[in-house]
């Protein structure tokens, strides 16, 4: 069986009753150096068997169980205070239960792919603490950001645990609230983490940027942030020449929340009720998220500033469609108000009649056809990318 672990060979491979396979491996080296005196020794004092976690084979975690035959050597130097020592290697460090290549795989999945720690732990058959300890150890060994050429900088906040309360050291009768927020700085071109600081205010961002050299700050061209006034203040003070870009997700979300707020307010003012499925304004409530989803493939290929323009075009498209829906509601109300004896109809029956009338007027034109008509290509002008209704 080819196990392909550098520095180790397969001693035996046995099929188990549950369908898996137990692979016994041992180091290929003949002698090891004493960690105290450095003298090489080939005298084996004893051997022990240890279970080892390695990368999944063919995507399966429990199909192969790795057993390492670890040797303990006796030091041949008489004056050495260490009598015995255990063999170690780059793939299996001292007291390690997980191979180095497995730690590298889970670290790449969390840092570069952006996956959750609990998801990566379950996929590789590890505990949450093991994966989290690997990520924490890598964060402590971050590369010096001053040695990295950064053109596009990303700044984002992250909440790593729930809120905690501690007693005030100055007054034991009072409790202080601790917000577990941290701010991460990332090179958007490579995805490399440049730094992590406590807090999410402008002071934390400013302190990290002030620690960088002037040449490093001058080479930053674009900074991508979420809609945070604290982040924007720090960027404008430390990187005045850099362009600030807001990610498309937060931009579309804020615009959609505003459209929803206006739709609900006008529905209460005009009809004294909540929106219904037959109302044009209610039918267009998902137009902005749909436009953002339709342009997601484009935003993945353009820069941060282009993503901003695409999202702005989605806002323009949704706002125009929402205005047309409100005007359609107003025309329907005017037509029904001119019908004889309509004002004498009880309120419940009036709403039912209004819904029937609206549904009949809309039955010949579906929402999909209307959106397709509005999505007709037009010339790109200004900061928005979209189509006129």
Cα separation, 102 vs 105, in Å, equals 5
> Same domain for 282 and 236?
no
Lowest-confidence range among 93-97, 260-264, 325-329, 383-387? 383-387
Does a structural domain hold residue 388? no
105 and 184 co-located in one domain: no
The region of weakest confidence among 263-267, 341-345, 363-367 is: 363-367
Specify whether 232 is located in the same domain as 277: no
Taking only the tens place, the pLDDT of each residue in 209-249 is 999 999 999 999 999 998 888 999 999 999 999 999 887 77
Q: Whole-model pTM?
A: 0.48
Stretch among 47-61, 158-172, 184-198, 286-300 having the lowest mean pLDDT: 286-300
Alpha helices in 114-156 (DSSP H): 117-124, 128-140
User: To which H or E segment does residue 210 belong?
Assistant: helix 202-210
Read off the DSSP letter of residue 211: T
What is the model's pLDDT at position 144?
Answer: 81
Residues 265 and 181 in one domain: no
Q: Is the distance from CB of 304 to CB of 188 less than 8 angstroms?
A: yes
What are the structure tokens assigned to 207, written together?
């302190």
Residue 387 lies in a domain: no
Tell me what the mean pLDDT of segment 378-385 comes to. Answer: 39
Q: What is the pLDDT of residue 310?
A: 43
- Categorize the per-residue pLDDT at 290 as very low, low, confident or very high, splitting at 50, 70 and 90: low
Q: Is residue 271 part of a domain?
A: yes
Residues 160 and 257 both lie in one domain: no
pLDDT at 39 over 80: yes
Whether 201 and 269 map to the same domain: the answer is no
- Same domain? For 242 and 255 the reply is no
Task: Kindly state whether residues 303 and 253 are assigned to the same domain.
Answer: yes
Residue, of 335 and 135, whose pLDDT is higher: 135
Our count of domains for the chain comes to: 4
Amino acid 73: pLDDT? 95
Give 53 or 115, the one with higher predicted confidence: 53
Domain extent, residue 125, equals: 98-141
Q: Determine the Cα–Cα distance for residues 270 and 328; give it in Å rounded to an integer.
A: 13
Mean pLDDT rounded to a whole number for the chain: 76
Q: What is the DSSP letter of 368?
A: H
Percent of the chain with pLDDT over 70: 69
Q: Does some domain include residue 313?
A: yes
- pLDDT value of residue 334: 55
Shared domain check, 333 and 241:
no
As given in the structure block, the two tokens for residue 124 are 């590789």
Geometric angle at alpha carbon 122, from 120 and 125, rounded to 5°: 105
pLDDT tens by residue, 165-209: 778 788 878 887 776 788 889 888 887 888 888 888 899 999 999
In a domain, 385, yes or no: no
């Amino acid at each position: 069986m080819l196990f392909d672990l550098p520095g180790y060979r397969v001693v035996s491979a046995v099929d188990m009753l549950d369908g898996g396979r137990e692979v016994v491996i041992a180091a290929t080296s003949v002698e090891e150096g004493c960690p105290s005196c450095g003298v090489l020794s080939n005298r084996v004092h004893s051997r022990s068997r240890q279970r080892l976690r390695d990368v999944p084979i063919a995507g399966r975690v429990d199909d192969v169980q790795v057993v390492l035959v670890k040797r303990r050597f006796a030091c041949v130097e008489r004056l050495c205070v260490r009598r015995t020592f255990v063999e170690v290697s780059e793939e299996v460090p001292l007291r390690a239960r997980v191979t180095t290549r497995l730690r590298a795989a889970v670290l790449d999945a969390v840092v570069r792919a952006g996956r959750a720690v609990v998801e990566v732990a379950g996929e590789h058959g590890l505990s949450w603490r093991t994966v989290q300890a690997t990520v924490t150890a890598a964060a402590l060994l971050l590369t010096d950001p001053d040695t990295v050429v950064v053109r596009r900088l990303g700044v984002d906040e992250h909440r790593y645990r729930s809120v905690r309360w501690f007693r005030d050291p100055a007054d034991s009768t009072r409790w202080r609230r601790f917000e577990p927020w941290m701010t991460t700085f990332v090179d958007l071109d490579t995805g490399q983490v440049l730094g992590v600081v406590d807090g999410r205010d402008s002071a934390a961002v400013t302190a990290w940027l002030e620690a960088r050299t002037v040449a490093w700050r001058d080479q930053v061209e674009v900074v991508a942030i979420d809609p945070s006034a604290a982040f924007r203040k720090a960027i404008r003070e430390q990187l005045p020449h850099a362009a600030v870009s807001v990610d498309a997700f937060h931009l579309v979300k804020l615009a959609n929340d505003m459209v929803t707020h206006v739709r609900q307010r006008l529905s209460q003012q005009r009809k004294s009720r909540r929106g219904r499925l037959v109302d044009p304004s209610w039918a267009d409530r998902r137009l902005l998220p749909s436009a953002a989803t339709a342009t997601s493939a484009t935003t993945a290929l353009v820069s941060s500033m282009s993503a901003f323009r695409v999202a702005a075009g989605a806002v323009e498209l949704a706002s125009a469609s929402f205005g047309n829906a409100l005007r359609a509601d107003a025309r329907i109300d005017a037509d029904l108000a001119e019908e004889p004896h309509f004002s004498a109809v009880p309120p419940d029956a009036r709403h039912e009649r209004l819904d029937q009338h609206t549904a009949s007027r809309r039955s010949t034109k579906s929402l999909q056809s209307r959106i397709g008509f509005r999505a007709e290509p037009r010339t790109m002008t200004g900061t928005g990318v979209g189509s006129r209704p």
